[in-house]
Chain A
């Protein structure tokens, strides 16, 4: 039997992010937020505030959203400073921005609409810029790999893909 390329690929690819429920839970979070705002304006009669519960611990992946946004901004700055590198750097900036969007989606963190100011200014020397980007990519790749190995199954595929993308960026910067 000869298996065709496409059939084999399609049948074994599960949806990496089957999380339709997140939209509902985000709505719920918004609703709870609105109630909290109301609650704070009305003094409690009983002294027992049903909303005064332990805050939920922050999502361990939330810092990765900021990390990916900062990387995207750093690549954009580097591409502006070194137009000759823009062809290589712009797609990598887009990839980091796409990673930030996906990470924000699964962690339910709101993406800032403005460009973050956390980017590292690009070095005037192109080689030094590339060296700096390689170091950032290496660190970010390691952090994605660690996060992947520690993550529940539902998140591991995305984190693995991000780790692989960062490794391929490192290769593209050689």
Chain B
């Protein structure tokens, strides 16, 4: 394993806050969805939980301080129906992608590989959610980059 650098630790801590928020957001998203979309939300939530757990272990091993999870997170818009739930799922994946892109630049070796895999996963899930929501285009040119 690579020696963690302060830059890597703070990027990982930031990614952890994004994963906390993503896990929280999939709660209100899931209850507005049914069938395969609800399954996809469960799968996405499980992936974010797995990444959260990995980050907690990794930061603890590195002796870095863990950011605290919050009781709730302010959503960018109210989730009132299936359409808004799907839009939020797109937003969650896009936003989380940004934190992992920052982690790519702050890491090297196996850590960078993991950050890249997370960024790729977020980008692919965002594309799937756009397709489910009927949002076009299905892709963005630079996943992770904030507009």
On A, residues with C-beta under 8 Å from B are: 1-6, 8-10, 12-14, 16, 87-88, 91-92, 94-95, 98-99, 102, 145, 148-149, 153-154, 156-158, 160-165, 167-172
Contacts and interface: CB of A to CB of B under 8 A. Distances in A.
B112 A148 contact: yes
Nearest to A6: B76
B116 to A, nearest CB: 5
B13 to A, nearest CB: 9
Contacts, number: 135
B141 A95 contact: yes
A167 B123 contact: yes
Q: Is the interface of B mostly helix, strand, loop or mixed?
A: helix
Given A165-B142, A172-B139, 11 more contacts: A5-B73, A8-B21, A9-B146, A102-B142, A145-B116, A145-B120, A157-B102, A160-B105, A161-B144, A171-B127, A171-B138
A1 B38 CA distance: 29
Q: Is the interface of A mostly helix, strand, loop or mixed?
A: helix
Interface residues on B, range: 35 or more
A157 B95 contact: no
Interface of B: 11, 14, 17-18, 21, 70-76, 91, 95, 97-99, 101-102, 104-106, 108-109, 112-113, 115-116, 119-120, 122-124, 126-128, 131, 136-146
21 contacts: A3-B70, A3-B74, A4-B74, A5-B75, A8-B18, A13-B102, A88-B137, A91-B137, A91-B138, A102-B142, A149-B112, A153-B108, A156-B112, A157-B102, A157-B105, A162-B142, A164-B101, A164-B124, A168-B123, A168-B127, A172-B139
